[in-house]
Structure 1
């Protein structure tokens, strides 16, 4: 009996979701195809019916993760009633909640260092997705792309450092300082 229409796309989506979550949490290099497939509730034998190789999956996971992050940030912005919407995005991005949930967080701080050593195909997709994120931030803040790049860099760098330390007070301080500086960038 054949699978229903759209079954293959649903399965592929589950694999991409599983990969994005795994890569966000553990990086690319340390995650195996069998681990990703198990996270999707599948056996690893079916992987090649959907992807040519792991690099193709990494590229798709980057696309998915940035779309997911933009949707979360847009939701935070849409809930803001009084302050500039970009402030809600900065507050969400540099929150303990986002810091502590790497599995659903932004892929930029999670994978940037690994992506620099990835294939040209993956770097090209990552570059495009980074540009899309900069455009989202710039449009929401009503600033040019150069300032949007600086704002996103501040946010990503603050999050990377806050996640890297084992001192909770220092981590919270890094998030607070990042928020303050990011908001100042928007106001100048």
Structure 2
């Protein structure tokens, strides 16, 4: 494995810290000075890695989607499409995913903010969201679903929405119930057998 330069490692530390902050508190919560302090660097050092705060936000969005893909890689590499889809739905709509907003898929954390960000950030987010939707559609086509593209669109929307709403619930039991209900609903829409 290729060893990263000091500058590349420092940039990665900034991206890692910023991605946790953005997932937990949104894009507006990232102030350059506070972020650099969290990383243990000076405010001025920021500009050796990013041209602007907007440049950082775009880089963090790309990093979050890449990180999410790595976290779900074991599931997406499962050969059997039924097992792959069952595990993806169960993992995505799990209590663990719900209770760790600083990790996992960035969509539930950021979707409500996208309309307020620059077009470049919205475009990047849209491209990465579409890649996820296409992976779902491909799995549904492997299962001979008659409306794979439409089903993938609505399944992704429900999964992202359910996770975002469950995270906002002050009552843990209500959140668990919502996640379980959405798991059943999404699986039913996919044509999977409900246990």
TM-score using structure 2 length: 0.86
Q: In 2, Cα distance between the equivalents of 1:102 and 1:53?
A: 25
Number of the residue aligned with 1:170 = 174
Further displaced range: 79-88 or 156-165: 79-88
Further displaced range: 27-36 or 78-87: 78-87
Q: Deviations over 1:58-111 (max 9, x none)?
A: 111111111111222222345798952111011111111000100012110101
Size of the aligned set, in residue pairs, is 185
Number of the residue aligned with 1:133 = 132
| Unmatched runs of 5 consecutive residues or more in structure 1 | none
2:151 to 140, 144, 147: 147
| 8 Å Cα contact 1:80/1:88 also seen in 2 | no
What's the offset of the Cα at 1:131? 1.1
Runs of 4+ in 1 over 6 A off after TM superposition: 79-82
Q: In 2, Cα distance between the equivalents of 1:124 and 1:92?
A: 27
Q: Does 1:159 align with 2:163?
A: yes
TM-score using structure 1 length: 0.88
Q: Considering only aligned residues, what root-mean-square deviation do their CA atoms show, in Å?
A: 2.2
Q: Trace 1:1-150 onto structure 2 (pairs within 5 A).
A: 6-78=5-77, 84-142=83-141, 144-150=148-154
| 8 Å Cα contact 1:66/1:133 also seen in 2 | no
| Unmatched runs of 5 consecutive residues or more in structure 2 | none
